[in-house]
Amino acid sequence: MQANVGDTLIVHGHVVGQGDRRGEIIEIRGPDGTPPYVVRFEDGSEHLIFPGPDAVISPA
């Protein structure tokens, strides 16, 4: 998985009725666009994320 600053990380919900979480990648800590990423989610929280198979990158 590779990303650029400004791309959107979408983490799909694990439970029926649980929505997707979307956030903007604001920092890339791995080499050449690889994880981990610092992501600012829609609620304003920022987290260091190692995306799993439930996550996709949407280019900016």
Return the closest-CA partner of residue 28 out of 50, 1, 4. Answer: 4
Is position 41 within any domain? yes
Which tens digits make up the pLDDT trace of 33-58?
A: 999 999 999 999 999 999 999 999 99
Q: How many domains does the chain have?
A: 1
Is position 30 within any domain? yes
Is position 1 within any domain? no
Confidence of residue 14 (pLDDT cuts 50, 70, 90): confident
Cis peptide before 53 (omega within 30 of 0): no
| Domain hosting residue 50, numbered range | 8-58
> What is the rounded distance in angstroms from the CA atom of residue 9 to the CA atom of residue 49?
10
Is position 18 within any domain? yes
Question: Over 90: is that where the pLDDT of 15 sits?
Answer: no
> What is the rounded distance in angstroms from the CA atom of residue 60 to the CA atom of residue 58?
7
Q: What is the pTM of this model?
A: 0.89
Q: Please, what is the average pLDDT of the chain? A: 95
